[in-house]
Amino acid sequence: MNIRPLGDRVIIKPVKEEEVTASGILLPETIDKEKKMEGEIVAVGPGKLLENGTIAKMEVKVGDKVIFEKWGGEEVKVGKEEYKILSAEKILAIIE
């Protein structure tokens, strides 16, 4: 991948899950099932620049599985892969 996030931004490869109802009906991606998503961190910026000139350490690292706000950030496509670029503040949790 040839994208490097700046500041406190991260690049996430979303996990796409097809959902099937109890009766076997496949729900398409266009249905808003939830307002959160899961994905894997593939790149991390250096951190947020604070007013005193220091950089705040990032709480996530490459390879972390995370839950993030679905509507946060920007969607980008690199080659055939789709990614989300968003501020670390939009990450809700790390999946351990």
Q: Where are the domains of the chain?
A: 9-95
Residue 75's pLDDT is 92
| CATH number of the domain located at residue range(s) 9-95 in this protein | 2.30.33.40
Would you write out the chain's pLDDT as a tens digit for each of its 96 residues?
688 999 999 999 998 765 655 566 665 655 555 557 899 999 999 999 999 999 999 999 999 999 998 888 899 999 899 999 999 999 999 999
Residue 87's pLDDT is 96
Spell out the long-range contacts of 28-35 with Cβ–Cβ below 8 A and sequence spacing 24 or more: 34/70, 35/69, 35/70, 35/71
Residue 72's pLDDT is 82
Residue 65's pLDDT is 96
Residue 13's pLDDT is 95
Q: Which pTM value belongs to this model? A: 0.78
What's the CA angle centered on 33, arms 68 and 66, to 5 degrees?
20
